[in-house]
Chain A
């Protein structure tokens, strides 16, 4: 897919673990892992809002469009 999820990059910059973020935004590690690996079909605005809030970043930092 042309949409790349950069959660792991932002997490690395913040020196945070996936588990910590999952706990902070009240989402399971499995679901966050699905998002991180790019297997997710869609992301809810509420989830994106929570991720951006806790990582103090913009949606553009999390999601990136790359032409195939």
Chain B
């Protein structure tokens, strides 16, 4: 149990570090003018940096924050789950709910990424930052992992119910 607490504490610090670093990375990209990286844009599309000001800048920042926000939610949920492990709460309904939430958060990362790619073109075109373009990208890495995590959560829930029933067999 002590090993679990120590490991959870370390991983919790790591999750919190990534939670803090994510918006820092967004800010760094914005400050250095790495807009293409921030917006996860396909290569070869010219970007008029002069137009990125006022509402255009806000739109770019909002677009660039969609996927990082999903990452931040996932890191926050991971931090909470590790907190439960740290307290010695392992096979409870709370843990199952936390794992399920992490699964859906992972799914939302890819959905956010695809949504970001899809709406970036029209929004940038609207603000005359790029010439008219629209792009779509299929991202399924986190989606598959997320669905698998959700499945594991359901299996854990079934195991927990069995354990609970077993404890009521006298």
Contact = CB atoms under 8 A, between A and B. Distances in A.
A39 interface: yes
Contact of A32 (B165, B168, B169, B170): B170
Interface residues on A, range: 10 to 19
Interface string B147-170: 000000000000000000100111
Contacts, number: 21
B164 to A, nearest CB: 9
Interface residues on B, range: under 10
A21 B82 CA distance: 42
A41 interface: yes
A34 interface: yes
Nearest to A42: B169
Interface in A12-68: 27, 31-32, 34-35, 39-44, 47
Chain A CB within 10 Å — which of B168, B169, B170 has the most? B170
Contacts of B169: 40-44
Interface of B: 165, 168-170
